[in-house]
Amino acid sequence: MNIHEYQAKELFDRFQVPSPSGRVASTPEEAAAAAKEFAGAKLVIKAQVHAGGRGKGHFKNGFQGGVHLIESPEQAAEFAGKMLNETLVTVQTGEAGKLVSKVMIAEAVDITHEYYLAILMDRATCRPVIVVSTEGGMSIEDVAHNTPDKIVRQFIHPLLGLQSYEVRKLTAALGLTGDIAKQFAKLLGNLYKLFISCDCAMLEINPLVTTPDGRVLALDAKFGFDDNALYRHPDIVAMRDKSEEDPREVAASEFELNYIGLDGNIACLVNGAGLAMATMDIIKHFGGDPANFLDVGGGASKEQVTAAFKIILGDPNVKGILINIFGGIMDCNVIAEGVIAAAKETGLPIPLVVRLEGNNVEMGKATLAASGLNIVSADDMADGAKKIVAAVA
């Protein structure tokens, strides 16, 4: 799960990570009112979407840039009018872009230098890693590609936590000294606490800036949380903005289905993540293209199977469905009844191939055969994949 920059500021405030104050607005009037609250200050207006690269992005209406320095409430309203309910395309959104339904008005600061700071969960070492660079404010992918030696990583022992010698090493790597170094050390300690306490998967500040009046501030924020730990954080779950997510994935998560939308035209409904991966592979092997990854889990109910069917059929690219079930914990006949109920409820406008194996498989196949629905039965995975690929060709 991700959150918006204006929401990230709440967490920064809670953990004492200094960042310029900001207010969110959904209309030009609200933007003007927000700007008035910072009377006298220089301001910045920023489109709120779950994607970076906003500054260099463009709107489909031709307006350039999702981040602008502004000077008055009137200008806040004017720029908000050009951004709100418009689609912003950045290097991270893809061609489709993202609809902007909120902007943030924040106090603008003068910048001495832009740095990069991130904390990520590193899978290879099973440790948090802190990544810093003196080359902030630009795409970190470009820095990694052009000047890899300008990126410094510090792996952190998960039980020992962030040590002061590690902080000193990172401070030195950024060339920070004196009071700025002290502020950075405090900020980094607090940011690490935030990362661990909130079960973040990644936390990126690009840029972290120093100012002419001698402050260190987080000027941008990108947060990702570990979905499996969200049950511990109802306050963070409350920040979820479903309009930023793939609607198919939102529907799937409501029924506790593991669904990931893909670009192909053969929908898969499978029990077990490993079998789901293998099913996608074998569809590819026989020349097809999977439309999704969908794992209904070990003990799927009829309601879940029906929900899965509806999500699959809601994707206009889907031209055929392959159901691949291994009845281990699961009774094949329960799945067969779920499939029939779902097919009757939703209609079955496209070819459906079903491969069942395992517990009570004979009964399951008999139930499908007796249903009168136009279901093609497959003997094994390869047979099922060949049949669905042929059916959508």
Pick the binder of ligand GDP from 11, 109, 239, 330 (CB under 6 A). Answer: 109
Q: Which of residues 206-225 bind Mn ion (CB under 5 A)?
A: 206, 220
4 touches ligand GDP (CB under 6 A): no
The partner in contact with residue 67, picked from Mn ion, ligand GDP, none with C-beta cut-offs of 5 to 8 angstroms by kind, is ligand GDP
Helix (H), strand (E), coil (C) string for 135-190:
CCCCCHHHHHHHCHHHEEEEECCCCCCCCHHHHHHHHHHCCCCHHHHHHHHHHHHH
AA identity, residue 97: G
> Left if phi > 0, otherwise alpha if psi is -120 to 50, otherwise beta: which for 85?
left
Catalytic-residue membership of 78:
no
Torsion of CA 338, 341, 345, 351, to 10 degrees: 70
111 counts as binding ligand GDP under rule CB under 6 A: yes
Does 358 participate in binding ligand GDP (rule CB under 6 A)? no
53 touching ligand GDP, by CB under 6 A = yes
Give the angle 55-246-267 at the CA atoms, nearest 5°: 140
Stretch that binds ligand GDP, among 93-101, 103-111, 336-344, 376-384 (CB under 6 A): 103-111
Check residue 52 for interaction with ligand GDP (CB under 6 A): yes
- Compute the least distance from the CB of residue 37 to ligand GDP, in Å: 16
Q: Smallest gap, in angstroms, from Cβ of residue 47 to ligand GDP?
A: 8
Could you tell me the two tokens for 119?
């904390």
Total number of residues binding Mn ion (CB under 5 A)? 2
Near ligand GDP by CB under 6 A: residue from 219, 300, 322, 375: 219
Q: Which residues contact 390 (CB under 8 A, 6 or more apart)?
A: none
**Contact between 92 and 98 (Cβ < 8 Å):** no
Number of residues that bind ligand GDP (CB under 6 A): 16
Q: Interface mask (CB under 6 A) for ligand GDP, residues 7-46, using x and -?
A: -------------------------------------x-x
Distance from C-alpha of 170 to C-alpha of 71, rounded to nearest angstrom? 36
- Reported as type and span, the H/E element at residue 43 is strand 43-47
Q: Out of 6, 86, 114, 116, pick the active-site residue.
A: 116
- Asked whether position 55 contacts ligand GDP by CB under 6 A, the answer is yes
Reply yes or no on whether 204 is catalytic: yes
Write the CB contacts of 6 (distance below 8 Å, at least 6 apart in sequence). Answer: 22, 23, 24, 48, 102, 104
Give 128's Cβ-side CA count (13 Å radius): 26
* 114, 135, 204, 244: the active-site residue: 204
Q: Give the separation between CA 141 and CA 297, rounded to whole angstroms.
A: 36
Q: How far is the CB of 364 from ligand GDP (least distance, A)?
A: 51
- Residue 392 to residues 163, 166, 344, 377: CA-CA distances in angstroms? 58, 57, 21, 16
**102 is a contact residue toward ligand GDP (CB under 6 A):** no
Residue 324 makes contact with Mn ion by CB under 5 A: no
The catalytic site residues sit at 116, 204
Which residues contact ligand GDP by CB under 6 A?
Answer: 44, 46, 52-55, 67, 108-109, 111, 114, 137, 206-207, 219-220
